[in-house]
Amino acid sequence: MDSLLIKGGVPLHGDVHISGAKNAVLPLMAATLLTEEECIIHRVPDLSDVKFMGQILQSLGAEVKFDGGTVTIRAAKIKPHGDYELIRKMRGSICIMGPLLSRMRKATVSLPGGCVIGARPIDLHLKGFEALGTKVVINGGYIHATARKLRGNELFLGGRSGPTVLGTANVMMAASLADGVTIIESAACEPEVIDLANFLNAMGAKVVGAGSPTITITGVKALHGAEHEVIPDRIEAATFAIAAAATNGDVTIHGARADHMNAVLDKLREAGVKVERKGPALRVRRNGALKPVDITTLPYSGFPTDVQAQMMLLMCLIPGISIITERIFESRFMHVSELARLGADISIEGPSAIVKGGKPLSGAPVMASDLRASAALVLAGMTAKGTTEVNRIYHLDRGYEKIDSKLRKLGARIERVKES
Q: Which residues are marked as active site?
A: 115
**CA dist., res. 415 & res. 362, Å (int):** 18
Strand order in the sheet with 135-139: 106-110, 142-146, 135-139
Spatial contact of 238 and 310, defined as CB atoms under 8 Å apart: yes
Distance separating alpha carbons of residues 377 and 388, to the nearest angstrom:
9
Secondary structure of residue 99 in the 3-state scheme: helix
How far is the C-alpha of 392 from the C-alpha of 35, rounded, in Å? Answer: 38
Q: Distance between CA 343 and CA 381 in Å, rounded? A: 11
In whole angstroms, what is the distance from residue 143 CA to residue 98 CA?
A: 12
Q: DSSP assignment, residue 157?
A: -
CB within 8 Å of 66: residues ≥ 6 apart:
44, 51, 54
- The identity of residue 186, as a single letter, is S
Burial 330-357 (b: 16+ CB within 10 A, else e): eebbbbbebbebbbbebeeeebbbebbb
